[in-house]
């Protein structure tokens, strides 16, 4: 059912949304409250059903499609790297569940076993993980892609490395395949010699991006870390070095200790925090970065529902990545969020998701 027909079987907030659309011209709060009560009563009695069917038929369906540096997506929701991105089969399953694009688990030059368990623990406000960038290595991953059907898959490959020669080799190898874009992981918070250690050095960031851009004409996204002195500075370096878009942010460096055993819970001691606890930090970073760069920003960090996604758009993101929410909601989260975005745009009278990007910058 649509936004109005759903009012006959969905919770109170749906009634409220329907009433809001009908009351755009209500002059004051008292009139709003009175009209809401009348509409609520009529809806409960099914007396407005035929009118609402007509009203919904007259609405223009909002456009959820976006384009980032030539990379077109049917909707602005991406699977974040590290979540169900280990095989092409799992990535395809996420795409079929409603994601507009899927990002692989980060792949490195050589295979990595990662850290010993425990590598993941649920904490208040999300998850703390230190997987250790475990991956099969670029050659095995390339062979899997070669044997898989990926032409119709909006596939973004996440890459990590310690030096520009590794990034250059991986890009040149993968570029022979129908990959849609790359995401450079310059922000992992818990592996020595990779990720954040590279991403907080402006010179290293520049060298790596320029080396990758020399090997491909496909879009190159750069995933930034909040664990730096000034994320805007790094964002500008990435933009000036040729990055086509920025993913903001990766997980936040954190830890948890067992008070009974006195030991850090993760085998690596330090991990990366994800989940709703980091969303306000991610929104702030997206807001600050998007105001200072001209290239698109992809929001990531703590998204749990459609309201969170709208907040990222208003902050300046053109697309978002979803990760931890899948652990709580399953793959149905993509369709739930898409419906929420659609209904929100209709209520606000917006024709496209692009119309709300960065609106908070006006204040």
| Rounded CA separation 197/319 (Å) | 26
According to the model, what pLDDT value does residue 59 have?
A: 65
According to the model, what pLDDT value does residue 1 have?
A: 44
According to the model, what pLDDT value does residue 187 have?
A: 87
Backbone angles phi, psi at 310, to 5 degrees: -60, -40
Q: Comparing 53-67, 163-177, 258-272, 305-319, which segment has the lowest mean pLDDT? A: 53-67
According to the model, what pLDDT value does residue 5 have?
A: 46
According to the model, what pLDDT value does residue 248 have?
A: 98
Catalytic residue among 99, 188, 254, 309: 188
Domain ranges of the chain: 5-57, 66-362
300 an active-site residue?
no
**Where on the phi/psi map is residue 114: left (φ > 0), alpha (ψ -120 to 50), or beta?**
left
According to the model, what pLDDT value does residue 10 have?
A: 42
CA distances from 62 to 65, 339, 352 (A): 9, 11, 5
Q: State pTM to two decimals.
A: 0.86
Task: Give per-residue pLDDT as tens, 75-86.
Answer: 999 999 988 888
Cis, bond preceding 222 (omega within 30 deg of 0) = no
Q: Which fold has domain 66-362?
A: TIM Barrel (3.20.20)
Task: Give per-residue pLDDT as tens, 312-350.
Answer: 999 999 999 999 999 999 999 999 999 999 999 999 999
Task: Give per-residue pLDDT as tens, 15-70.
Answer: 455 555 555 545 565 665 676 677 667 766 666 666 666 666 666 799 999 999 99
According to the model, what pLDDT value does residue 237 have?
A: 97
Q: Give the mean pLDDT of the chain.
A: 89
Query: What is the rounded average pLDDT of the residues 170-199?
Result: 86
Residue 13 has pLDDT above 80, yes or no: no
| Of 324, 345, 305, 263, residue with least CA distance to 65 | 345
């Amino acid at each position: 059912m649509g936004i109005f027909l759903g009012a006959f079987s969905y919770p109170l907030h749906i009634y409220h949304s329907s009433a809001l659309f009908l009351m755009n011209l209500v002059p004051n709060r008292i009139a709003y409250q009175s009209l809401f009560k009348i509409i609520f009563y009529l809806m409960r009695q099914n007396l407005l059903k035929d009118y609402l069917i007509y009203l919904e038929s007259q609405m223009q369906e909002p456009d959820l499609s976006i384009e980032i540096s030539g990379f077109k997506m049917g909707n602005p929701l991406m699977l974040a790297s590290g979540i169900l991105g280990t095989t092409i089969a799992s990535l395809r399953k996420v795409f079929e569940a409603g994601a507009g694009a899927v990002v692989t688990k980060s792949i490195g030059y050589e295979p990595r076993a990662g850290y010993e368990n425990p590598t993941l623990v649920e904490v208040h406000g999300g998850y703390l993980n230190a997987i250790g960038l475990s991956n099969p290595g670029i050659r095995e991953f390339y062979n899997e892609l070669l044997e898989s059907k990926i032409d119709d898959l909006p596939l973004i490959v996440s890459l990590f490395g310690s030096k520009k020669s590794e990034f250059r080799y991986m890009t040149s190898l993968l570029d022979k395949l129908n990959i849609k874009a790359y995401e450079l992981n310059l922000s992992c918070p818990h592996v020595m010699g990779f990720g954040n250690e590279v991403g907080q050095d402006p010179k290293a960031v520049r060298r790596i991006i320029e080396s990758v851009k020399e090997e491909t004409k496909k879009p190159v996204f750069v995933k930034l870390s909040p664990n730096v002195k000034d994320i805007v500075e790094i964002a500008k370096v990435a933009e000036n070095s040729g990055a086509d878009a920025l993913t903001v942010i990766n997980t936040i460096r954190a830890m948890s200790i067992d008070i009974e055993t006195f030991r850090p819970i993760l085998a690596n001691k330090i991990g990366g925090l994800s989940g709703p606890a980091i969303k306000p930090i991610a929104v702030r970073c997206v807001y600050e970065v998007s105001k200072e760069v001209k290239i698109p920003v992809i929001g990531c960090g703590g998204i749990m529902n459609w309201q969170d996604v709208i907040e990222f758009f208003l902050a300046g993101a053109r697309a978002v990545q979803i990760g931890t929410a899948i652990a709580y909601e399953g793959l149905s989260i993509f369709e739930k969020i898409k419906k929420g975005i659609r209904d929100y745009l209709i209520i606000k009278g917006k024709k496209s998701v692009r119309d709300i990007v960065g609106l908070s910058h006006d204040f």
